[in-house]
Amino acid sequence: MRARTSPWSLGGLSLRELGARLWNELWQDEVLDRAAALAYYFLFAMFPALLFLATLFGLLPGPQLLDQLMGYAARVLPPGAATVVQKTLDQIVSGAGKGLLSVGALVALWGGSSGMVSAMTALNVAYGVTDNRPWWKRRLIALGLTLGCSILVLLGLLLIVVGPRIGSMMAGFLSVGGIFTRAWSVISISIAMFLALVVIALVYYFAPAVEQDWRWLTPGSAVCLFLWLAMSVVLRVYVTRVIDYNAAYGSIGGVILLVLWLYLSSVVLLLGAEINAEIEHAAAQQGEPSAKSEGERRAA
């Protein structure tokens, strides 16, 4: 059996050719409009998820884990959006109890799965396929993806929050000083980045109704993660130094920034899928036997 060509060969396309095809698909597949739908679902799923996290973190050992987590989130979100999330979280924490853990988990899971169903539809459009899976199977896949991705994200966030503390404890136990502590911080952040890539890979693998080979890293997932980090940094700098959204929009400025951040995050998620799809389709045109042309669910 012939080995499958690596997706890093870009299906025989040059970067310019891939960019041109991607630009056409961006408008043909209505990526910007579909990203708006994703942002809508993600916004409604966010606050039930905060309820779940607030209650769950209250049951975990260790002081102020949630506060530390929000401190890291504030470095990614634009300042106004971070303020909205923090205020909402404070209100949730003040009224949350252990009995709300299961309710918050179920609501967050269902809301997140609705966003995942919307992502599945958008990814099917990227591959040009019709999803013939029954509705209950699509919902089960969406629930499984939401649960699995949430666990990985939670592990990554906990590692970033708790990692330096673990590194300090191990450095003290081994008497190796601050070098080990700094190295552990780099390692924990690297693991968190790897978990983020796995989350993206899971979505790109299971969401579209196409047969694929599992890959930990693809050009689309790498671009998605890079653009998401860059977008978050640029948006934060823009809001901090260029424009004051609170002066322009008043009290709803933070809400607008939060929705904008979710929208741009959805754009880069769909953009990464479009990259993978175009590489797949180009490889099929080049005669790759295991690749699929646009509209094909399985290789011929």
Write out the two tokens for 282.
């180009």
Please give the residue range of the domain that contains residue 99.
Answer: 14-285
Distances 208 to 28, 132, 215, 222, 262 between C-alpha atoms, Å:
18, 11, 15, 18, 21
Residue 2 domain-assigned?
A: no
Residue 137 domain-assigned?
A: yes
Mean pLDDT of 257-279: 91
Residue 136 domain-assigned?
A: yes
Write out the two tokens for 145.
């993806």
Residue 294 domain-assigned?
A: no
Mean pLDDT of 48-74: 63
Mean pLDDT of 236-243: 78
Q: Pick the residue with more confidence: 185 or 148?
A: 148
**Cα distance between residue 270 and residue 258, in whole Å:** 19
- Which own/partner pairs from 86-94 qualify as long-range (CB within 8 Å, at least 24 positions apart)? 88/47, 88/50, 89/50, 89/54, 92/47, 92/50, 92/51, 92/54, 93/54, 93/58, 93/66
Among 42-56, 65-79, 123-137, 163-177, the range with the most confident prediction by mean pLDDT is 123-137
Q: How many domains does the chain have?
A: 1
- The interaxial angle of helices 135-174 and 100-127, nearest 10 deg, is 110
Residue 205 domain-assigned?
A: yes
User: What's the chain's average pLDDT?
Assistant: 78
pLDDT of 181 over the 70 cut: no
**Cα distance between residue 12 and residue 40, in whole Å:** 37
Residue 5 domain-assigned?
A: no
pLDDT of 284 over the 70 cut: yes
pLDDT band at 276 (very low <50, low <70, confident <90, very high): very high
Among 48-62, 100-114, 179-193, 200-214, the range with the most confident prediction by mean pLDDT is 200-214
Residue 300 domain-assigned?
A: no
pLDDT for 164 equals 65
pLDDT band at 82 (very low <50, low <70, confident <90, very high): confident
pLDDT for 135 equals 87
Distances 258 to 10, 26, 122 between C-alpha atoms, Å:
34, 23, 22
Contacts of 103 (CB under 8 A, 6+ apart): 51
Mean pLDDT is lowest, of 27-41, 76-90, 205-219, for 76-90
**Cα distance between residue 52 and residue 154, in whole Å:** 11
Mean pLDDT of 139-155: 82
Residue 292 domain-assigned?
A: no
pTM: 0.83
